[in-house]
């Protein structure tokens, strides 16, 4: 019995974590989101360095999780406005805690909603970011077109992620990503995704020895 438990428990735990990163929920989900704030920090900062952020930019972070990216964007655009959006109530709650000061001073707003139907008018944002989230979106091509819709002409989309198909550690990710039903795109597929959605000046960047990708595109003027 003990032997079976030893075998089953780690599998249950791993499946639970996979579910939580897709849509964090409840008090434990909040802990997962707080851990992601720490775990994704270095990669996020590298990704944001690939984007020119004007100090008065109006920015949306889709799938904002625990809100650390929103806080970073608020620091990069000290005269701007930042909106974080996530479909998980747990993520929204933690994100609001992380950004409490900037919410109070009116520079940051955190909203609950899905990338599938962004609750914003056309041409609202100068920049849209999405960190470690696109793997889980319900319809990637349509969702990226939805991001294009809310960007101003000339605005920038930056998709930042910890893994892509064909990068280092391909064996592990090649098993894990299909298991958790996560989109696992190659470098070229990331570029095609943005180009086919209507973005121009599409480019991808990587860091030697890491599995990171930052795909950027501009909404035509």
User: What residues line the site for ligand SAM (CB under 6 A)?
Assistant: 21, 23-24, 36-37, 40, 44, 63-66, 69, 86-88, 91, 114-116, 131-133, 136-138
Beta sheet of 213-218, edge-to-edge order:
108-112, 81-86, 58-62, 125-131, 151-161, 213-218, 200-205
Select 116 or 188, whichever has its Cβ closest to ligand SAM: 116
Whole-number minimum distance, CB 120 to ligand SAM, in Å?
Answer: 13
Q: Which residue is nearest to ligand SAM (CB)?
A: 65
Cβ of residue 44: shortest distance to ligand SAM, in angstroms? 6
CB closer to ligand SAM out of 111 and 201: 111
Shortest reach from residue 114's CB to ligand SAM, in Å: 4
**Nearer to ligand SAM among residue 86 and residue 126 (C-beta):** 86
CB 187 → ligand SAM: shortest distance, Å? Answer: 20
Min separation Cβ 66 and ligand SAM, Å = 6
Residue 104 CB coordination number (10 Å):
9
**Closest CB 88 distance from ligand SAM, rounded Å:** 3
Q: Which is nearer to ligand SAM, 8 or 112 (CB)?
A: 112
Nearest alpha-carbon partner for 210 in 169, 179, 165: 169
Nearer residue to ligand SAM within complex by CB, 77 or 130: 130
Measured CA to CA, the distance from residue 196 to residue 104 in angstroms comes to 39
């Amino acid at each position: 019995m003990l032997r079976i438990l030893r075998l089953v428990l780690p599998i249950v735990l791993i499946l639970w974590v996979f579910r939580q990163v897709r849509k964090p929920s409840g008090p434990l989900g909040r802990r997962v989101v707080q851990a992601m704030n720490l775990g994704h920090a270095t990669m996020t900062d590298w990704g944001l360095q690939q984007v020119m952020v004007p100090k008065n930019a109006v920015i949306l972070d889709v799938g904002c999780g625990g809100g650390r990216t929103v806080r970073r964007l608020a620091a990069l655009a000290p005269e701007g406005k930042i909106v974080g959006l996530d479909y998980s109530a747990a993520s929204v709650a933690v994100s609001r805690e992380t950004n409490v000061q900037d919410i109070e001073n009116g520079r940051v707003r955190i909203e609950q909603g899905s990338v599938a139907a962004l609750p914003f008018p056309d041409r609202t944002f100068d920049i849209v970011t999405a960190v470690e989230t696109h793997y889980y979106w319900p319809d990637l091509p349509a969702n990226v077109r939805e991001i294009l819709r809310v960007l101003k002409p000339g605005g920038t989309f930056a998709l930042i992620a910890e893994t892509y198909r064909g990068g280092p550690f391909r064996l592990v990710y090649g098993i894990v990503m299909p298991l958790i039903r996560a989109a696992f795109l190659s470098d070229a597929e990331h570029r095609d995704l943005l180009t086919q959605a209507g973005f121009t000046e599409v480019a991808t960047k990587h860091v030697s020895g890491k599995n990171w990708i930052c795909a950027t595109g501009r909404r035509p003027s």
